[in-house]
Structure 1
Amino acid sequence: MEEKKLDINSIIGFVLIFGILIFMFYQNRPTPEELEAEKVKQEQVESQNTTEQRTQNSTPVTVPVVNLQDSTAVANYQNSLGAFGFTKPSDGNTTLENGILQLIISNKGGQIVEAKMMQFNTYDSVPVYLIKDGNASFGLTFSTSDNRTLNTNDLYFEPSLSKNGDNQVLSMKAKIAPNEFLEYRYEMKPDEYMVDFTLRSQGLNGVIKGDKPINLEWFLKGIRHSKSVKYENRYTEMMYNYEDGKIDYLSANGDDDDIEEDVKWLSLKQHFFTSILATKKNFKTANISTTNLVEEESKDVKFTKDFNASIPLALEGGEISENLNWYYGPTDITELKKYDQYELEDTIYWGWGIFGWINRYVFTPFYTFLSNFLPAGIAIILMTIIVRLAMSPVTYKSYLSQAKMKVLKPEITELSEKYKDNAMKKQQETMKLYGKAGVSPMSGCVPALLQMPIFYALFMFFPTSFALRQKSFLWADDLSSYDAIFEWTTHIPVISTFYGNHMSLFPILASIAIFFYMMMTTGQNMPQQPGMPNMKFIMYLMPFMMLIFFNNYASGLSLYYFISNLITIGIMLVIKNVIIDNDKIHAQIQENKKKPKKENKFQKKMREMMEQAEEQKKLGKK
């Protein structure tokens, strides 16, 4: 990666950083040893992972690592499997590749030992791997008729590579005889991240003990791909489709486990990439768990979470038969929508309720459209402008309410002084004044509430949008990550924990913009009332909290808030100086006060309740 040099943008960043600081108060085991020979490397790694991953339900036979040059060791391997002479050990791998995805399948275990994204790199320019160096394991455990428990990870499979039209087909068979075997069949299609995967046995109904469960065991340790491991880990989680279309997930914030029924797919999501196991006939149950591996922000942390799934399978006529699919690829809505039979786009967390709906059906397609012909940063700015203009009527309503309240402030102050010893009476008279003038103190809050779905939807859009990944803008190398203009290695207590070991520029700019916005809207009209917190302190606290919180967030999100607040400030200046006339507002309020005001049921009920309370207060004094 090209080293970042100081330029005018960085200099501006330094000036803003130090200015705002003055102004605002201020984590697989030990690494596996090198294997003695390259040909047994995968065996050693798989053996280590097998030991680590077994769940409580699994009691596998311990099969020694086989030296393929030692005929005695080979014989011992077959003898260790009892009367069943499965395939003679033969080390080796087979590669499937289609231009966008490369899978390496090992003879030992017949499983995928490497899955590489061929068109994507990590933050440090290394290809993105979802499986590599033994971080994942997949196999079946089952009991045999002589009461042993076998795990397919310990078996050797014979590979056979062929073509089915344009598709590559790899058959991996662990054989007892030519017509008695366990087969893993992989079929890779051109330019697709999804691979057809079939599990089946033939002639093993006398080998597999049918009265005990067959467990599919899947383990994966998430490999770090992003600059900030804590930020990536926040969006690394196990999601699943169950019970006829329900979508749920295990906690991304810590260790979690569950047992689910009628499972359609499991997605081990690593922020912008995911490993998915899907089934055409649904798993009856799945025992799933996740373990958090990240304790603090550090460049030395290589993994994010441990994912485990244990799934019991049913025999069909005494044989194994499962039609599955593997998906190794990006959490890109464009790619995931290709597999609508599984509805894999639900593996993206859009947000809850209406917020997710807005994110999924409004902002995602809208930004995708803009980014088709505009650079990523410009597309964000244009989207921000359009969103703010669309919300300008709401901004107008909010400012108009503030202007009306400002006009009424002298009269409200007069009532406060007149009834300073009678809080109930003061409240009654104030409400009467609001009613006569046609002003509601809640009218300024309603526009803000209307903007909340937009705010939260965008808050989820920027961190989860694959379209932003590794897209640059100005000094930001990656709009889906933080835009550091200064970094340090020294761990500073509290600061490193909450702020990080870097300074990001866009959050600083966004904090400054929101500060001036709050100054314009509430800074001059924040009354200090007894028993209430210092509202001006809150006005300073909000930009400060944004500065801290957004320092590790996607720079695209901070860019949005920066531009959004600038536009809002501009709109409000136009409203204040061009559209709204305070004298006309005052005259209109006076006219409204002369007109008879009919109370609605709510107002009448509130007035009666307050009068009753006042009357009871008087009686209590007698």
Structure 2
Amino acid sequence: TLKENDYMLDFDIVSQGLNTVLNTSKPVNLEWNMKTIRNEKSVAYENRYTELYFDKEGKKSYLGQGKDNKELVNKVSYIAFKQHLFASILRSKKPFETVELYSNNLVNDAKIDTVFTKFYKASLPIAFQNGGINEKMNLYFGPADYKILKSYNSNLEDIISLGWGIFGWINKFIFIPLYGFLGLFLSQGIAIIIFTVIIKLAMSPITYKSFLSQAKMKVLRPEITELGEKFKKDPMKKQQETMKLYNKAGVNPMAGCIPALLQMPVFYALFQLFPSLVSLRQKGFLWADDLSTFDSVLKLPFYIPGYGNHVSLFPILASIAIFFYMKMTTGDQQMQAPQQEGMPDMAKIMKIMIYVSPLMMLFFFNSNGSGLSLYYFISNALTIGIMLIIKKYIVDEDKIHAQIQENKLKEPKKQGKFQQKLQQVMEQAEAQKAANNKK
């Protein structure tokens, strides 16, 4: 039975007279095989999200991406042959006792225009009952869409990789409903832009806190430099005095890192979300003809390892945006912590990262979906704009300087446990150094 506007086919397997020709004390096997046909521009990108999923005693599991993956599994309720944005799912009313699953990766070289990406095989035992077979099953053949799969109330939506823990929670309960709502009345490209604006506005208080911390560190920079010159030959003493300066001025050197850490779950959740959005498939925006795959604007006559044989424009724009964003923020971040003896020069490392990070992004996203690259371009451009507004109209460095000077006249705040522990470690190191010098 196939219901109207549904992707789930209900069917029965019924036998008559098999007990006269077969040994009904042993089950017969239902063999289900599939070669997944390549549908997208990038073989490597599509194959990354093409996997065999199954329900293992009530919990989702899957076979690996490599060659000749086999597994015997007990109590299987469903088996899903997933192909990036599509899925074929076999579901049984009662769990199969022991299922033999097999997955083989057919892509040997991403440079070759491969027709098939994976080969799947499932061997499912069907037991005789009263000399015959009477099994009720369902076969889903359609898009790997979270909302559609969830509507069947069988945990089929678990085959969509939205991230583990808090990352999956953010996608399921915040981002998917929000983006789905925007997609009801906006084109997919405009929906991504509005979606990005909403997220950046929601995260703007964190951006403000981060920029405020950088502004405070910038005001303290001359005094930190002076301490560096004063205790040039005693790095440990310089570090202790710098920490005292932070405490006296009421500045937390780690405050600039905390906002960045708070944004990481959002960053990773979105990285998982966009490759799973079926609604982006074959939906164009500007020069991109399909937001679910890369937006090639130039075909190269050669293949660059790690980059491909084409040039995508959205990753270039995103890389340029992240370059200017890092250029704006790195200078102030270099002074957020004192240099430790024997440790790498963080200033030099961060200067290198200004150029390395955009380059890495350019290579990594060139063959990824253009919807994700569009998001990162708009996101970084908005962050630059928000920081410029904060710097020009909200954060007053003269007021910050006056507040810091006022804080210095007050009694220093009681150190937190982390700061106390750090101070103890530095004092112990200083004492050990002094003891070694006496020997």
The structure 1 residue matched to 2:146, chosen from 333, 336, 355, is: 333
Shift of 1:568: 0.7
Match of 2:43 among 229, 235, 240: 229
2:85 pairs with 1:272: yes
Q: Aligned to 2:302, which of 491, 496, 518?
A: 491
Does the 8 Å CA contact 2:214/2:332 hold for their aligned counterparts? no
User: How far has the Cα of 1:473 moved from its partner?
Assistant: 0.5
Corresponding residue for residue 104 of structure 2: 291
Alignment match, 1:14: none
- Distance in 2 separating the partners of 1:192 and 1:436: 67
Partner in structure 1 of residue 430 of structure 2: 614
- The letter of the residue matching 1:192 is D
Q: Distance in 1 between matches of 2:207 and 2:115?
A: 46
SS of 2:315's partner is helix
Give me the whole-angstrom Cα distance separating, in 1, the residues matched to 2:72 and 2:274: 32
- Could you say if the C-alpha distance between residues 523 and 425 of structure 1 is closer, same or farther in structure 2, counting changes exceeding 3 Å? closer
> Which residue identity does 2:38 align to in structure 1?
R
**Which of 178, 184, 209 matches 1:397?**
209
8 Å contact from structure 1 (residues 424, 610) kept in 2: yes
**Pick aligned residue for 1:599 from 400, 415, 435:** 415
Q: 2:375 aligned with 1:567, yes or no?
A: no
Match of 2:54 in 1: 240
Shift of 1:502: 0.8
Q: Deviations over 1:363-413 (max 9, x none)?
A: 111111111111111111011111101100000000011111111111111
What amino acid sits opposite 1:251 in the alignment? G
**Out of 105, 114, 125, which is 1:312 matched to?**
125
Query: Which residue matches 1:586?
Result: 401
What stretches of structure 1 move > 3 A for 4+ residues in a row?
210-213, 252-255, 297-300, 523-530
1:367 aligns with 2:175: no
1:332-369 C-alpha deviation (Å, 9 max, x unpaired): 234323322x2322221111111111112211111111
2:269 matches 1:457: yes
Instruction: Give how far 1:213 is off.
Output: 4.2
Report the more deviating stretch, 581-590 or 207-216.
207-216
Give the 5 Å matches for 1:17-416.
187-244=1-58, 246-252=59-65, 255-298=68-111, 300-340=113-153, 342-416=154-228
- Cα shift at 1:513: 0.7
> Residue 392 of structure 2 aligns to which amino acid in structure 1?
N
The one-letter code of the counterpart of 1:589 is: I
| Rounded Cα–Cα distance in structure 1 between residues aligned with 2:112 and 2:279 | 25
Q: Per-residue CA shift, 1:154-180, capped at 9, x if unaligned?
A: xxxxxxxxxxxxxxxxxxxxxxxxxxx
Alignment correspondent of 2:319: 511
Higher relative contact order (CA 8 A, sep 6+): 2
Q: Give the drift of 1:543.
A: 0.5
The one-letter code matched in structure 2 to 1:491 is F
Give yes or no for contact 1:484–1:502 (8 Å, CA) kept in 2: yes
Q: Which ranges in structure 1 are unaligned for 5 or more consecutive residues? A: 1-186
CA distance in 1, matches of 2:134, 2:318: 56
Tell me by how many angstroms 1:524 deviates: 6.3
**C-alpha distance in 1, partners of 2:129/2:318?**
61
The answer (yes or no) to whether the contact 2:26–2:127 under 8 Å persists in 1 is: no
RMSD of Structure 2 on Structure 1 (CA): 1.9
Quote the residue 1:18 is aligned against.
none
| TM-score, length of structure 2 as denominator length | 0.93
Q: Which residue identity lines up with residue 405 of structure 1 in the other structure?
A: M
TM-score, normalization: structure 1? 0.66
Of the two, which has the highest radius of gyration?
1
1:85: which partner in 2?
Answer: none
Q: Deviations over 1:186-244 (max 9, x none)?
A: x3222221111222222322322134442222111101111212211111111112212
What letter is aligned with 2:433? K
- Which stretch shifts more, 233-242 or 254-263? 254-263
* SS of match in other structure, 1:481: coil
Distance 1:564 1:253, change over 3 A: farther
Q: What is the CA–CA distance in structure 1 between the aligned matches of 2:96 and 2:229, rounded to whole Å?
A: 72
Decide which of 328, 345, 351 is 1:536's aligned counterpart: 351
Q: 1:197 to 1:567 in 2, by over 3 A?
A: same
**Mapped partners of 1:472, 1:217: distance in 2:** 39
Q: Which residue of 2 aligns with 1:118?
A: none
Q: Take 1:460 and 1:291, find their aligned partners in 2: how far apart are those partners?
A: 24
- State the shift of 1:299 in Å: 6.6
Distance 1:326 1:506 in 2: 38
Q: Are positions 1:443 and 2:255 aligned together?
A: yes
Which structure has more helix as a fraction of its residues? Answer: 2
Q: The residue matched to 2:357 in structure 1 has which SS?
A: helix
Query: After alignment, is 590-599 or 471-480 more displaced?
Result: 590-599
Count of residues in Structure 1 that have an aligned counterpart in Structure 2: 430
The separation in 2 between residues aligned to 1:464 and 1:618, in whole angstroms, is 59
Which whole-Å deviations, capped at 9, do the CAs of 1:27-69 have from their partners, x for residues lacking one?
Answer: xxxxxxxxxxxxxxxxxxxxxxxxxxxxxxxxxxxxxxxxxxx
SS of the equivalent of 1:391 reads helix
Query: Aligned partners of 2:331, 2:106: CA distance in 1, in Å?
Result: 44
Identity across matched positions, percent: 58
Match 2:360 to one of 531, 542, 545? 545
Q: Which amino acid aligns with 1:539?
A: I
